[in-house]
């Protein structure tokens, strides 16, 4: 049973690494960004609401995001643990997640932070924009998303560091190399 978070700036490869960790450890990976994108694609009310914020590179309001995560974490497939990718991103979301977990007396085992230099991230994301045409991958929006990460999500990281469950992994390098580092870091963190 492992309950984990993966946190990293946009473009750090957290989605890719989350999928790999999920396969190796047999825990379900839950990406709030993917859930939002699926809803945008399906033109659901949630997707129509979320799209406005996503296209501008803003956070979807906590009231919407928190409820979505609460519902997702009540599904059966999280019984063996979970890996949350992209949540929490604000300190208010940290508190909300604390409340969800407290209700079932659950605790997080590991919080993984993928690190990367801003200019490297901008270059990667501009490359991804050409390949995927993601509507939130243009330079102005990319820089705004990075600013939000520094302004809001680094405070989230600091909270978990204070709790002694944070592990930092260098996200620069070949995808396989980063996966090896990530898996080693998780093993080391769980052994403590
Ligand atoms: P991601 O794929 O994780 O980069 O997320 C894509 C977009 O979805 C973000 O830029 C936000 O607009 C939205 N989003 C994803 N997770 C959250 C969250 N925890 N809180 C608010 N907005 C989120």
60 in a structural domain: yes
Tell how far CA 103 is from the center of its chain.
22
Query: What contacts 24, CB < 8 A, 6 or more positions away?
Result: 183
Whether the predicted pLDDT of 136 surpasses 80? no
136 in a structural domain: yes
Total domains in the chain come to: 1
Identify how many contiguous H helices and E strands the chain contains and give both numbers.
9, 5
Specify the pTM: 0.94
Write down the pLDDT at residue 137: 76
162 in a structural domain: yes
Residues of the domain holding 115: 2-186
145 in a structural domain: yes
170/31 Cα distance (integer angstroms): 21
* Token reading at 26: 């047999």
User: 73: how many CB neighbours lie within 10 A of its CB?
Assistant: 18
55 in a structural domain: yes
Segment 73-120, tens digit of pLDDT:
999 999 889 999 999 999 999 999 999 999 988 899 999 999 999 999
192 in a structural domain: no
Q: Which residues line ligand 1 (CB under 6 A)?
A: 10, 32-33, 36, 53-54, 57-60, 65, 86-87, 89, 93, 136, 145
151/19 Cα distance (integer angstroms): 27
166 in a structural domain: yes
Whether the predicted pLDDT of 154 surpasses 90? yes
53/58 Cα distance (integer angstroms): 5
Atom of ligand 1 nearest to the CA of 14: 3
What's the CATH code of the domain at 66?
A: 3.40.50.300
* 70 CA distance to ligand 1 middle (Å): 16
Segment 4-22, tens digit of pLDDT:
999 999 999 999 999 999 9
């Amino acid at each position: 049973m492992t309950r984990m978070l993966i946190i990293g700036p946009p473009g750090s490869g957290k989605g890719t690494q989350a999928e790999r960790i999920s396969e190796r450890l047999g825990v379900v990976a839950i990406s709030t960004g993917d859930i939002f994108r699926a809803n945008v694609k399906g033109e659901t009310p949630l997707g129509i609401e979320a799209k406005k914020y996503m296209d501008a590179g803003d956070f979807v309001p906590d009231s919407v995001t928190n409820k979505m995560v609460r519902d997702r974490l009540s599904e059966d497939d999280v019984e063996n643990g979970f890996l949350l990718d992209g949540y929490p991103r604000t300190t208010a979301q940290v508190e909300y997640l604390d409340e969800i977990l407290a209700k079932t007396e659950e605790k997080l085992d590991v919080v993984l932070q993928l690190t990367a230099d801003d200019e490297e991230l901008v270059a990667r994301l501009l490359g991804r924009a050409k390949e995927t045409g993601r509507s939130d991958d243009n330079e102005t929006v990319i820089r705004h998303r990075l600013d939000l990460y520094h302004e809001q999500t680094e405070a989230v990281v600091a909270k978990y560091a204070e709790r002694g469950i944070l592990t930092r992994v260098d996200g620069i390098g070949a995808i396989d190399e980063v996966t090896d580092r990530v898996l080693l870091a998780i093993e080391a963190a769980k052994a403590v």
